[in-house]
Amino acid sequence: MLAALRCVIRRDLLLAARRSSDVLTVLLFFVIVVSLFPLGVGPDAGLLRTIAPGVIWVAALLASMLALQRMFASDHTDGTLEQMLLGATPLGMTVAAKVFAHWVISGLPLVLISPVLALQFDFPQEFLGVLALSLALGTPVLSLIGAIGAALTLGLRGGGALLSLLVLPLYVPVLIIGAGAAEAAVSGLGGHAQLLLLGALLVFAVAFAPWAAAVALRISTE
């Protein structure tokens, strides 16, 4: 079974590597959206510092939304999804492997580039770590919750818009806690409580979301 999971992860990463434009689109979207704010708000360092975590988090949320539709869509069109549904590995595990690969492709780059973007906001350097860590814990939760939405809207016409409506409200707790972590750290309260909560959300999502997405996939491929 582990061989099958490794194989799914390897396959998805290989596909992403051969189609790197998809990965770059998401990353560039994130970079551009975040960079628009200092341009729009103006050079008020105090204000920028205050809004930095919120802006970066909202942009990360939208960027991961953008990548969601692709999670199962191409596998659905070419029939490989059917083979996964009929695989020897429990579907929940296969979905977990796919979500992990999806996060490596669309979430991890955001985490890695976020400290650089935060500099545009004059964000205090000693707290860049907290910001990146909050994203590192939060973006996998976004991918996991998003997987359920992507599975439910699979094959629907106009599924993209519906997916946003379905998933964005569910992202709200992650957004509040995630952006709160860096804010709390900056204000001297320490972001530990928020980071722990994010960790708890992640554990919860890892345990349940793949199975929920698996059930949704079975329903939407019928």
Partner 1 sequence: MGKIAGSSSLEAVDLHCVRGERKLFGALSFTLRSGELLRIGGANGSGKTSLLRIACGLLEPTRGEVRWDGKDIRRLQEEFWRQLVYIGHANAIKDDLTATENLHVACTLAGVPRQPAQIREALRRLGLAGCEDLPARMLSQGQRRRTTLARLALSEPMPLWILDEPFAALDSEAVEHVQNLIAEHLSRGAAVILTTHLEARIAATLRIDLERT
Q: What residue ranges bind partner 1 (CB under 8 A)? A: 3-4, 7-8, 11, 14-15, 18-19, 77-80, 82-90, 94, 221-222
CA–CA separation, 131 and 91 (whole Å): 34
| Residue 126: CB minimum distance to partner 1, A | 43
The least CB distance from residue 159 to partner 1, in Å, is 19
- Residue of 216, 21, 173, 212 lying closest to 106 (CA atoms): 21
Measure the CA–CA gap between 112 and 98, rounded to whole angstroms.
21
Closer by beta carbon to partner 1, 94 or else 143: 94
* Contact in structure between 195 and 133 (CB atoms under 8 Å): yes
Q: Which is nearer to partner 1, 19 or 192 (CB)?
A: 19
- CA atoms of 126 and 5, how far apart (whole Å): 38
- Any long-range contacts for 196-202 (C-beta under 8 Å, 24+ apart)? 198/134, 198/137, 198/138, 198/141, 198/174, 199/137, 201/137, 201/138, 201/141, 201/173, 201/174, 201/177, 202/137, 202/138, 202/140, 202/141, 202/144
The CB-of-14 to partner 1 minimum distance in angstroms stands at: 7
In the bound state with partner 1, the residue whose beta carbon lies nearer, of 77 and 187, is 77
Distances (CA, A) of 154 to 39, 78, 91, 122: 37, 13, 16, 41
Report in angstroms how near the CB of residue 190 gets to partner 1 at its nearest: 46
For residues 39 and 88, which CB has a smaller minimum distance to partner 1 in the complex? 88
* C-beta closer to partner 1: residue 22 or 122: 22
Closest approach, Cβ 149 to partner 1, in A, equals 22
CB of 107 to partner 1, least distance (A): 21
- The span from the CA of 182 to the CA of 175, in Å, is 11
Identity of the residue, 7 or 193, whose beta carbon is nearer to partner 1 in the bound complex: 7
